[in-house]
Amino acid sequence: FFEEFERDSKIVLIGRERYSNFGDKLGLKNFFHLVTHASKTADQYDLIKDKAINEHRDYLDNRDKYKRIVYFGATGATSRALFGELHGKMEGNVVMIDVGRALDVYYRLDRVYVPNTPEWGYEWCYSFDPSWIAQKCPYVIR
């Protein structure tokens, strides 16, 4: 999935600082991370939208390099609202995917994961054993 996008796409992940090494984990050369607050993204909505639009302008200025721009949103309801507002209004070949909490399982065993985090919603990470991830996808856990 990511290898296909990596060939000729600008990949932008919108989410908390924890995901800053996601591009490195997958070896993505054209990866850009728009850092958001861990739990107060609704308060940052306009700032996040401005950052996403700036990344889009860069994509448009570099169409010889990028065939498309792919946004991954990991900010909960803020991603849904942002993608809902921008869908169909951005020029070019744009893909928007709300990944929700799907990336969290990859960070449960990662060295950047901090146990006992006070951030809302991480209780579910403690309720199951995600060791199968390292067995099925050892290149993702570093």
Q: Is 51 helix (H, G, I), strand (E, B) or coil?
A: helix
Determine contact, residues 68/8, Cβ cutoff 8 Å: yes
pLDDT tens, residue by residue, 71-83: 999 998 899 999 9
Q: Are 41 and 78 in contact (CB under 8 A)?
A: yes
In the predicted model, residues of the chain with pLDDT beneath 50 are: 116-126, 141-142
* C-alpha to C-alpha distance for 50 and 37, rounded to whole angstroms: 15
- The pTM of this model reads 0.77
Q: What is the pLDDT of residue 96?
A: 96
74 phi, psi to nearest 5 deg: -130, 50
Amino acid letter, 51? K
Please count the residues of the chain: 142
Q: Which two tokens stand for residue 36?
A: 């958001």
Asked if residues 81 and 45 have their Cβ atoms less than 8 Å apart, the reply is: yes
Burial class (CB in 10 A: 0-12, 13-18, 19+), 129: exposed
